[in-house]
Chain A
Amino acid sequence: MKATGIPLLRGAYYVFWREMKRLFRQRTRIFMAVFQPVIWLVLMGNMMAGLTDNPYAAQMLGVDNYLIFMTPGVMAMSSLFGGVFSGISIIWDRRLGFLQKMLTAPIPRFSIPLGKIWAIMLQIFLQMLIIMAIAYLLGVRFATGLGGVIAMLLYSGLLGSAMGGISLAVATVIKTPETLFAVVNFLTMPLIFSSNAMFPLAAMPLWLQLIARYNPVSYAVLPMRSLAAVGWIWPDLLTGFFMLLLLNIVILLVAYRRFERGLVL
């Protein structure tokens, strides 16, 4: 046998395979992943539905059905949460010794976060399809049809992957789930509340608008909201896409460095 290392993508595939096996064995996790956004949609949707009766509010929201406004927001939030906790799996793998096992195998180290990110993305895709199906049942009709659905999957996936990358990179130096939770919460709450996920930009004070505009969550929400409520607004779509792509590249580079050099055991 010619002794050579394992290609990156192949290594990542096996990491991905394991995550998938695990996911589909954990029924509670699947149930929660489905149920949580349903709660968001049904509760928030109904609670806030009255908002659009107020013409001023309807103007700020830019839609006449609050659910159409809310669906992309819930999708972005679910993607963010789907990604941001992925670092936990590194911490558990470290505790179980599985991380060490993967590190002594001849797979490139970067294939570990890469495989885990793929798993997150697939999980997010499934979750998004369910959310969109539920939204459809609740009467939401997307302005861009099936093409828009696919495009929205893409944006959700990019957001989830970026968040997953951050979480995985952070987990290379953090050893306990509690600490990671603290870091993640520190990150996610401001990210959500300073974005346009739940409230329209127009309803925010100026300084918050400024933050919200450069918030990565907004870069996913804005294009998705256009796709859902308005149509193919290319400037929004392209800006969002390239900003998320750039963010992903930067985060993956950081994760690459952390896994190749700075991984704490």
Chain B
Amino acid sequence: MESKGEYLSRREPAQEQTAPARREMIRTENLVKVFPGGNRAVDGLTFSVYEGEIFGFLGPNGAGKSTTIMILTTLLAATEGRAFVSGYNVSRDREQVRLHLGYVSQVLAVDDALSGEENLWLQAGFYNLSRQERKKRVDEVLELVGLQQRRKDLVETYSGGMRKRLDIAAGLIHRPRVLFLDEPTLGLDIQTRREIWSYIRRLREEAGMTILLTTHYMEEADQICERIGIIDHGRLMVVDTPANLKKSLGGDLIFFDFAAATGEEQRERALQRLREQPFIQKISPRGSEAHGFVAVTADGEADLPRFFAALAEINVKVSRVTLKVPSLDDVFLAFTGSELREEHGDKEKHMQERFTMRRLRT
């Protein structure tokens, strides 16, 4: 995959580093899902998530994240390939898989006509817990997500964030070994998102749960995931820690614009001069802006003064300079390209999304 219109070239990602003793809680082997009509939503996906890890699936809309989760949670059958959750084959040992996994979908899968407590009570029933055990666990998860006070109220009176927390609580009632969170903070305000992140971290720390989450918020992946897999067109582009991914881009970026009055010849001379500098790895024009360029350097902070020094030798005017350390956004763009995507989803899917949004915003 070539990144389109991006200035950074990718190095080969570092080999996946994992402690050898950790148990694989999720494994897929060459997973393929072709929908009727020929859309290859998942196209040869192979990855592993280890015990106690928070693994993030990052990708643009329609990249195949949710489809993969639906296969792993036994909601969809894979067209080809195999997948294992907690050691059980998702297509053969479905019941075992279902007993061991918790699933919190993108939509708010809570029943508005029931109270918070009743929603959890019901969920606990689906896992056949004894009466006593159910009472205990309902208290436990309500405490964890901070809904003790509102437990008796009907969910229709909850705010969007509270509903999401209840939804997550329901996914935890049977203490799953592996938790799937599909876009856990979609549509939530930043404060609520941070709150949800802290719950997710606590789950890992206190319960040793393995968590696979999908997101298209870079910040979210950066904040809570130990490892990130960037997925696009149903294929895994790269898997690594957020820090390594950022490093893999090969350097910092200096964005600069020549002054509008700069002549072409003068500009070429300046660019030539910059290219001669050993600390500059690459210079490329910035898309449509005739005067805008970007230079890649190994260490932006040290190289910026040298950059100015080089330009000072030629009489050229620069109107703007910005130093940018690669963020996960840049990594994301480098691996998935920046073009806008048409969503494949059917009418009903959009309906569902709109519906979810409306419920979140109450």
Same complex for A and B? Answer yes
CB distance from A87 to the nearest CB of B (A): 15
Cα A14 to Cα B114 in complex, Å, equals 13
Asked if B106 and A105 sit within 8 Å, CB to CB, the answer is no
Interface string of A1-40 (1 = CB under 8 A from B): 0011110001101100110011001100000000000000
B residues within 8 A CB of A95? 107, 348, 351-352, 355
Contact partner of A105 (CB less than 8 A), chosen from B76, B98, B108, B111, is: B98
B170 within 8 A of A: yes
Q: With A95-B351, A97-B106 given, is the CB distance from A102 to B113 under 8 Å?
A: no
Contact partner of A96 (CB less than 8 A), chosen from B95, B98, B111, B122, is: B111
Q: With A95-B352, A95-B355, A97-B106 given, is the CB distance from A105 to B123 under 8 Å?
A: yes
Interface residues of A in 245-265 (CB under 8 A from B): 265
Contact partner of A106 (CB less than 8 A), chosen from B75, B105, B127, B352, is: B127
Cα A96 to Cα B109 in complex, Å, equals 5
A59 within 8 A of B: no
A60 within 8 A of B: no
Interface string of B81-102 (1 = CB under 8 A from A): 0000000000000011011110
B70 within 8 A of A: yes
Q: With A5-B95, A6-B126, A265-B76 given, is the CB distance from A97 to B111 under 8 Å?
A: no
Interface string of A82-115 (1 = CB under 8 A from B): 0000000000000111101111111100000000
CB distance from A45 to the nearest CB of B (A): 35
CB distance from A102 to the nearest CB of B (A): 7
B residues within 8 A CB of A22? 111, 113-114
B118 within 8 A of A: yes
A239 within 8 A of B: no
Asked if B109 and A101 sit within 8 Å, CB to CB, the answer is yes
Asked if B105 and A105 sit within 8 Å, CB to CB, the answer is no
Q: Which A residue sits closest to B173, measured CB to CB?
A: A105
A46 within 8 A of B: no
CB distance from B110 to the nearest CB of A (A): 8
B272 within 8 A of A: no
A residues within 8 A CB of B98? 5, 104-106
CB distance from A210 to the nearest CB of B (A): 41
B241 within 8 A of A: no
B residues within 8 A CB of A6? 126-128
A residues within 8 A CB of B111? 18, 22, 96, 98
Asked if A101 and B103 sit within 8 Å, CB to CB, the answer is yes
A175 within 8 A of B: yes
Number of residues of chain A lying within 8 A (CB) of chain B: 29
Cα A18 to Cα B170 in complex, Å, equals 15
B residues within 8 A CB of A185? none
Q: With A18-B114, A22-B111 given, is the CB distance from A11 to B126 under 8 Å?
A: yes
CB distance from B211 to the nearest CB of A (A): 15
Interface residues of B in 297-336 (CB under 8 A from A): none
A residues within 8 A CB of B356? 97
Asked if A96 and B126 sit within 8 Å, CB to CB, the answer is no
Interface string of B333-362 (1 = CB under 8 A from A): 000000000000000100110011000000
Q: Name the residue in A6, A97, A102 with the highest tally of chain B Cβ atoms < 10 Å from its Cβ.
A: A97
Q: With A10-B128, A21-B118 given, is the CB distance from A3 to B99 under 8 Å?
A: yes
Asked if A106 and B95 sit within 8 Å, CB to CB, the answer is yes
Interface string of B119-138 (1 = CB under 8 A from A): 00011011110000000000
Q: Which B residue sits closest to A10, measured CB to CB?
A: B128
B73 within 8 A of A: yes
B74 within 8 A of A: yes
A residues within 8 A CB of B105? 97, 100-101
A residues within 8 A CB of B103? 100-101, 104
Q: With A6-B127, A104-B98, A265-B70 given, is the CB distance from A18 to B122 under 8 Å?
A: yes
B residues within 8 A CB of A98? 109-111
Q: Name the residue in A3, A4, A13, A26 with the highest tally of chain B Cβ atoms < 10 Å from its Cβ.
A: A3
Asked if A100 and B109 sit within 8 Å, CB to CB, the answer is yes
Contacts A/B (CB < 8 Å), 29 sampled: A3-B96, A3-B99, A3-B100, A4-B95, A5-B95, A5-B99, A10-B128, A11-B126, A17-B122, A17-B125, A22-B113, A25-B154, A95-B348, A95-B351, A96-B108, A96-B110, A96-B112, A97-B105, A97-B107, A97-B109, A97-B356, A100-B75, A101-B103, A101-B105, A103-B75, A104-B98, A105-B123, A107-B126, A265-B75
Which A residues are within 8 Å of any B CB, using their own CB?
3-6, 10-11, 13-14, 17-18, 21-22, 25-26, 95-98, 100-107, 175-176, 265
Known interface pairs A3-B96, A4-B95, A6-B127; 20 further A-B residue pairs with C-beta atoms within 8 A, sorted by A's residue number: A3-B99, A3-B100, A5-B99, A10-B125, A14-B126, A18-B122, A26-B113, A95-B107, A95-B351, A96-B112, A97-B352, A100-B75, A101-B170, A103-B74, A103-B75, A104-B74, A104-B75, A105-B98, A105-B123, A106-B95
Which B residues are within 8 Å of any A CB, using their own CB?
70, 73-76, 95-96, 98-101, 103, 105-114, 118, 122-123, 125-128, 154, 170, 348, 351-352, 355-356
Closest 4 CB pairs of A and B: A97-B109, A97-B107, A105-B126, A14-B125
